[in-house]
């Protein structure tokens, strides 16, 4: 289990670096298609690269609107799943230009290793959406579509 935890820490350190560099192509390489997105009781399945890119564009715009200059992601919990998969609970800190915390929330991600390469296959964004709503970031229509 320690090896899996370390692999997830490495994965999400690299993911945060790609987000902080605003490198859309690299960010997209961390995400699998199809991709499930859960917000509260509803789950949407994203089936094309264009839909996934649009989802991530809106998600990052909401982070920026909350005052985010960079993100810091901490792996809090990892559970191994059958078939080279893992469930991961993350703690996100959205950091503003002065280095202060603009917002923080938890997400739950499901990852699968395909040919030895990890990718996020599903994301539970319920807490993220609730926290950003408190910062005035209402869920726009089509966030997950």
Which of 103, 100, 89, 94 is closest to 131 using CA atoms?
103
Beta pairing partners, 128 = none
Domain count, the chain: 1
| Residues 75, 88 contacting (CB under 8 angstroms) | yes
- Is 125 a domain residue? yes
Residue 30: count of CB within 10 angstroms of its CB? 19
- Is 140 a domain residue? no
Domain CATH number, residue 119: 3.10.450.50
- Is 143 a domain residue? no
- Is 144 a domain residue? no
Q: What is the pLDDT along the chain (145 residues), one digit of tens a residue?
A: 789 999 999 999 999 999 999 999 999 999 999 999 998 899 999 999 999 999 998 888 888 888 889 999 999 999 999 989 999 999 999 999 999 998 999 999 999 999 999 999 999 999 998 888 887 666 555 544 3
Identify the pLDDT of residue 14: 98
Sheet of 101-114: strands edge to edge?
Answer: 42-46, 31-39, 117-124, 101-114, 85-95, 70-81
Identify the pLDDT of residue 137: 60
Domain residue limits at 95: 2-134
């Amino acid at each position: 289990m320690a090896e899996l935890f370390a692999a997830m820490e490495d994965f999400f350190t690299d993911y945060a670096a790609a987000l902080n560099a605003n490198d859309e192509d690299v960010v997209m390489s961390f995400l699998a298609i199809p991709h499930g997105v859960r917000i509260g009781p509803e789950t949407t399945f994203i089936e094309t690269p264009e839909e996934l890119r649009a989802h991530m564009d809106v998600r990052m715009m909401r982070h920026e609107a909350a005052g985010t200059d960079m993100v810091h992601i901490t792996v809090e919990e990892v559970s191994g799943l059958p078939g080279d998969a893992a469930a991961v609970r993350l703690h996100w800190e959205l950091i503003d230009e002065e280095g202060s915390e603009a917002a923080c929330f938890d997400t739950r991600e499901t990852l699968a290793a395909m040919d030895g390469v990890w990718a996020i296959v599903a994301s539970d964004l319920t807490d993220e959406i609730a926290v950003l709503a408190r910062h005035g970031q209402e869920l726009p229509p089509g966030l997950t579509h």
